[in-house]
Amino acid sequence: MEPNYRFRDPTLAQLALTHRSVGKPNNERLEFLGDALLGAIVAEMLYEAHPRASEGELSRLRAQLVNGQALAVVARELDLGDGLKLGPGELKSGGFRRDSILADAFEAMVAAVYQDGGFDACREFVRGLFAERIAALRRSSKDAKTRLQEWLQAKGLPLPHYELVASHGEDHAKTFEVSCSIGEPIAFTAEAHGGSRRAAEQDAAEAVLNQLLEQQRDA
């Protein structure tokens, strides 16, 4: 994959690929800025692609796209490892292949594009790299209530019960509190609130599913 941006100031791209093991200047400050830019642009894309998703669902999807392992994959597609500047110790230990170093370099590169061409150029750069990823995620993703129901059915457990606990506020700005509970033999309950009953149910289902998965990991 070729990066969809050509730098006017190549020294910014070089700085983005300079690891702290080299000394100063390095890409740590650019990485800080790039992390925020990337999170905002990917959040915007997910908001557009999933108009009915709850805040919890959008956060989960974003975490799938911008975690270190996922960003290292993007960095490899852009061959960023080939241009990394590393100190002797990192070179010897194969730092150019390490997920964390590659992910940091990609975040720094996002910020370098922003510094070189402005926000619109940065936004276009990120959207070009993540459009197909988000489309694929959209095709494969299921909402929290569906995932919880399928998990329970697969284990022969009772289906969840959703109950409206309370609602607050004016009609145009109501907040709904909903509980999601699973009966015996596991007996889990979680509550969540949202701007609609459906959104609150989705977040409550997500919370119960996370409890169940955590219990499964600890077992």
What is the set of active-site residues?
35, 107
- For residue 148, which of 88, 98, 205 has the smallest C-alpha distance? 205
124 is in an annotated binding site: no
Query: Distances from the Cα of 23 to the Cαs of 14, 72, 178, 190, in angstroms?
Result: 14, 22, 53, 49
Give me the half-sphere count of Cα atoms (radius 13 Å) on the Cβ side of residue 36.
Answer: 6
Q: SS3 of 178, please?
A: strand
107 is in an annotated binding site: yes
Edge-first strand order for the sheet with 188-194 is 161-168, 175-182, 188-194
Per DSSP, 68 falls in state: H
How far is 92 from 21, CA to CA, in rounded Å? 12
> Backbone dihedral region of 187: left (phi > 0), alpha (psi from -120 to 50 degrees) or beta?
left
31 is in an annotated binding site: yes
Q: Detail the residues annotated as belonging to a binding site for Mg(2+).
A: 31, 104, 107
